C-alpha cells in the first residue's frame, strides 16, 4: 500500500460560498443592530467610539438649578444624519487650517467714527449701499462707533484667542450658565469659551454663590470665562446687547478663525471642534445654521412675532417688513440659489404651490434647499470676508429695527454680494447637538423678559397688517406666499 500525504479538506462551513455570504451578512447585520440600539442618537455618527471625553468641569450649588426646565424632543428618527470624523484627525485638520488661514489682504475693512450710538444709526439707503461689496477697500459699518464696555484684561483675553471660540451671553439674568458636555481631552487647549453677562446677571450668580463678586474682577466658571459688560453704556434693551457678541463675534475676537454662537438657553452636547469640522469644514461653507422647526417664509416669522408679542412694537414690525418688501424681499421658493438641506414641499390641491402647512395639502419631498427662516440659537462660522460681511449687514438691520434676528436673515442673505455659502441643517440635528432649556422663571410664573399674558391674540395676519393688506407694500409678497398670485 502506497503511503501518501493526508489531504487536509476545508471545513464544511467554508465549502459553500452562499453559506459564507449569508453568515457574513448575518454578522454584519447583528453588529449594526447592536450599534444602533446602544447609540444615544440616530442623527449623529462617530467614526470612532474611543474619542477622548473629559469629565464634568464644574459642580453648581443645588439652588442654582442649571438643569431645570429642559424642553423635551420627540423625534424618533433622523432624515439627515451627520457623520463625525475621528477626534484626532479633526483636531489636526482644524489646527492646520487655523495656522494656514488667509492673511489680512482679503479681510473686511470697518468704518471708524465716534458716535453716541454703538451701531451708528444708519438710514435705510445707507445700509443698502453696503450690500454689494464692489472691492475690498470699502469700509463697512459694523458697530463699535463707541467703545464696547469691557475691562482691558478681558479685552486682551479676547484678542489673544486664536483658532476656535465658543461664545454665549446672558443679559438681564435671562438664563442659566451651563457647561458643555463631551469635550475631547485637547479641546480646552485649543478652544476658548467666553460668556458675556451684565451686572444683573452677575448679581444673580452671586446670590446663588456660583461666583463671588468680591473675589476679583476676573471670573471663571467651569470652561467659561465670564466677561462683564457695562450694559448701561449700550442699549436699553438687554436682547439688543446680546446681539453684539452674537453677530459681531469676528470683531470681538479678531484673531479667531472659527466660532460657535450658543444661546444661553442651550447646553452644547458635542465637542465644538467636531461640530465645526462636520458642519462647516467638511461642507466647505462660511456658516452653518439650523432651519426653523415651523416656518419657511420670513413673513411667517414676522406675523408670529406680532401675534405672540415677541416684539411689542407692532408698528415698528410693520415698518420693517414693508421696508424689506419695498427693497426686494421675496417669499421663499425652490428657485432661491441656496442649496442646503432636505425640506418638504407642500402642494396645494390643484396646480398652485405653497409652503405653508395646512391639513388639506399634499406633502412631497424635494431636493436640498435652504429656507428663509433659521433657528439662530446655534450658529457655526468660518471667519472670512463673506461671513463677516453678512454678520455686519445683519447687525446693522437689527440695530435699525429690533433684535429679532430671523426677520432680516433672508433679506440680507439674498441681497448681499459676494454670496454667503450656507449650510442650513435639519432641526433634528440641532436637537441632538444641543439641549434646550426654558428661560429663567420670574415670580409671576413667566420667563424673564416675557409679558405676563400668554393668551392668544387675534388672527395672525390682522396683528401686523390690520385693514391694510390690500394697500401694503407687502401685498404681492403675501399673495405669493399664500399661493394666490395670478401674475
* Nearest-10 Cα torsion for 153, 157, 160, 162: -170
Shared-domain flag, residues 388 and 468: no
pTM, 2 dp: 0.81
Is residue 16 one of the residues assigned to a domain? no
Domains held by the chain: number: 2
Instruction: Report the C-alpha gap between 291 and 424 in whole angstroms.
Output: 6
Shared-domain flag, residues 183 and 327: no
**What is the predicted pLDDT for the residue at 463?**
57
Q: Which neighbouring-strand residues pair with 417?
A: 132
For 414-473, write each residue's pLDDT tens digit. Answer: 999 999 999 999 998 998 899 999 887 665 444 444 433 333 333 344 457 655 556 688
The total of other beta-carbon atoms located within 10 Å of residue 141's CB is 22
DSSP code, position 341: E
**What is the predicted pLDDT for the residue at 62?**
72
Instruction: Report the C-alpha gap between 188 and 205 in whole angstroms.
Output: 23
Instruction: Report the C-alpha gap between 275 and 270 in whole angstroms.
Output: 7
Could you give the strand order of the β-sheet that contains 422-425, starting from the edge strand earlier in sequence? 219-221, 224-228, 191-197, 163-170, 256-262, 374-382, 287-291, 422-425
Residue whose C-alpha is closest to residue 96's, from 187, 192, 163, 158: 163
For 143-187, write each residue's pLDDT tens digit. Answer: 999 999 999 999 999 999 999 999 999 999 988 999 999 899 899
Residue whose C-alpha is closest to residue 143's, from 237, 229, 243: 243
**What is the predicted pLDDT for the residue at 29?**
62
Is residue 93 one of the residues assigned to a domain? no
Q: What is the CATH number of the domain that holds 379?
A: 3.90.550
Pair 254, 420: CB distance under 8 Å: no
Shared-domain flag, residues 287 and 391: yes
Shared-domain flag, residues 304 and 422: no
Degrees, nearest 5: CA angle 279-418-96: 40
Instruction: Report the C-alpha gap between 401 and 321 in whole angstroms.
Output: 10
Residue whose C-alpha is closest to residue 33's, from 46, 42, 22: 42
Shared-domain flag, residues 175 and 286: yes
Please classify residue 348 by burial: count the beta carbons closer than 10 Å to its beta carbon, then call 0-12 exposed, 13-18 middle and 19+ buried: middle
Residues in the chain with pLDDT < 70? 1-19, 25, 28-56, 63, 65-69, 74-77, 102-106, 214-216, 337-369, 441-463, 465-471, 484-487
Is residue 233 one of the residues assigned to a domain? yes
Cis peptide before 418 (omega within 30 of 0): yes
Is residue 357 one of the residues assigned to a domain? no
**What is the predicted pLDDT for the residue at 358?**
27
By DSSP bridging, strand 82-84 and strand 44-46 are parallel
Is residue 376 one of the residues assigned to a domain? yes
Pair 408, 394: CB distance under 8 Å: yes
Shared-domain flag, residues 377 and 466: no
Domain that holds residue 315: 299-331+460-486
Instruction: Report the C-alpha gap between 171 and 28 in whole angstroms.
Output: 52
Residue whose C-alpha is closest to residue 301's, from 407, 408, 450, 411: 407
Shared-domain flag, residues 400 and 477: no
Shared-domain flag, residues 228 and 291: yes
Q: 210 is written with which cell numbers?
A: 456660583
By DSSP bridging, strand 362-369 and strand 341-347 are antiparallel
Is residue 320 one of the residues assigned to a domain? yes
- The position carrying cell 435639519 is 426
Shared-domain flag, residues 153 and 229: yes
Degrees, nearest 5: CA angle 320-196-226: 175
Is residue 471 one of the residues assigned to a domain? yes
Instruction: Report the C-alpha gap between 381 and 422 in whole angstroms.
Output: 10
Shared-domain flag, residues 272 and 315: no
Residue whose C-alpha is closest to residue 108's, from 341, 319, 395, 449: 395
Shared-domain flag, residues 165 and 306: no
Shared-domain flag, residues 126 and 182: yes
Pair 161, 248: CB distance under 8 Å: no
Is residue 10 one of the residues assigned to a domain? no
Instruction: Report the C-alpha gap between 480 and 484 in whole angstroms.
Output: 6
Amino acid at each position: 500500500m502506497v503511503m501518501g500525504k493526508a489531504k487536509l479538506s476545508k471545513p464544511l462551513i467554508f465549502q459553500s460560498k452562499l453559506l459564507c455570504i449569508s453568515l457574513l451578512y448575518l454578522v454584519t447585520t447583528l453588529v449594526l443592530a447592536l450599534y444602533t440600539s446602544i447609540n444615544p442618537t440616530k442623527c449623529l455618527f462617530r467614526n470612532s467610539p474611543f474619542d477622548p471625553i473629559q469629565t464634568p468641569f464644574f459642580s453648581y450649588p443645588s439652588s442654582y438649578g442649571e438643569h431645570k426646565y429642559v424642553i423635551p424632543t420627540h423625534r424618533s428618527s433622523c432624515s439627515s444624519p451627520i457623520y463625525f470624523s475621528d477626534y484626532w484627525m479633526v483636531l489636526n485638520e482644524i489646527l492646520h487650517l487655523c495656522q494656514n488661514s488667509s492673511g489680512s489682504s482679503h479681510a473686511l475693512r470697518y468704518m471708524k467714527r465716534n458716535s453716541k450710538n454703538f451701531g451708528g444709526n444708519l438710514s435705510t439707503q445707507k445700509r443698502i449701499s453696503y450690500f454689494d461689496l464692489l472691492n475690498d477697500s470699502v469700509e463697512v459699518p459694523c458697530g463699535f462707533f463707541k467703545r464696547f464696555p469691557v475691562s482691558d484684561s478681558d479685552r486682551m483675553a479676547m484678542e489673544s484667542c486664536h483658532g476656535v471660540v465658543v461664545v454665549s451671553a446672558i443679559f438681564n439674568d435671562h438664563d442659566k450658565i451651563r457647561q458643555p458636555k463631551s469635550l475631547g481631552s485637547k479641546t480646552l487647549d485649543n478652544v476658548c469659551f467666553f460668556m458675556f453677562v451684565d451686572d444683573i446677571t452677575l448679581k444673580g450668580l452671586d446670590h446663588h454663590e456660583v461666583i463671588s463678586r468680591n473675589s476679583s474682577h476676573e471670573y471663571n466658571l467651569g470652561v467659561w470665562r465670564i466677561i462683564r459688560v457695562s450694559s448701561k453704556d449700550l442699549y436699553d434693551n438687554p436682547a439688543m446687547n446680546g446681539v453684539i457678541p452674537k453677530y459681531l463675534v469676528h470683531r470681538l475676537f479678531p484673531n479667531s478663525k472659527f466660532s460657535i454662537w450658543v444661546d444661553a438657553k442651550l447646553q452644547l452636547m458635542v465637542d465644538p471642534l467636531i461640530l465645526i469640522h462636520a458642519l462647516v469644514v467638511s461642507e466647505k461653507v462660511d456658516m452653518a445654521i439650523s432651519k426653523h422647526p415651523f416656518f419657511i417664509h420670513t413673513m411667517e416669522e414676522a406675523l408670529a412675532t406680532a401675534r405672540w408679542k415677541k416684539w411689542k412694537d407692532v408698528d415698528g414690525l410693520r415698518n420693517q417688513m414693508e421696508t424689506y418688501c419695498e427693497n426686494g424681499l421675496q417669499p421663499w421658493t425652490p428657485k432661491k440659489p441656496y442649496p442646503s438641506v432636505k425640506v418638504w414641499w407642500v402642494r396645494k390641491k390643484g396646480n398652485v404651490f405653497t409652503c405653508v402647512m395646512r391639513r388639506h395639502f399634499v406633502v412631497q419631498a424635494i431636493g436640498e434647499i435652504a429656507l428663509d427662516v433659521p433657528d439662530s440659537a446655534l450658529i457655526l462660522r468660518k471667519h472670512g470676508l463673506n461671513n463677516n460681511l453678512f454678520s455686519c449687514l445683519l447687525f446693522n438691520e437689527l440695530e435699525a429695527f429690533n433684535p429679532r434676528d430671523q426677520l432680516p436673515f433672508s433679506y440680507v442673505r439674498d441681497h448681499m454680494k459676494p454670496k454667503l455659502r450656507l449650510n442650513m441643517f435639519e432641526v433634528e440635528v440641532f436637537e441632538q447637538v444641543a439641549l434646550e432649556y426654558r428661560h429663567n422663571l420670574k415670580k409671576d410664573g413667566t420667563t424673564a423678559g416675557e409679558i405676563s399674558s400668554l393668551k392668544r391674540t387675534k388672527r395672525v395676519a390682522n396683528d401686523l397688517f390690520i385693514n391694510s393688506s390690500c394697500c401694503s407694500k407687502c401685498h404681492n409678497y403675501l399673495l405669493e406666499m399664500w399661493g394666490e398670485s395670478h401674475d
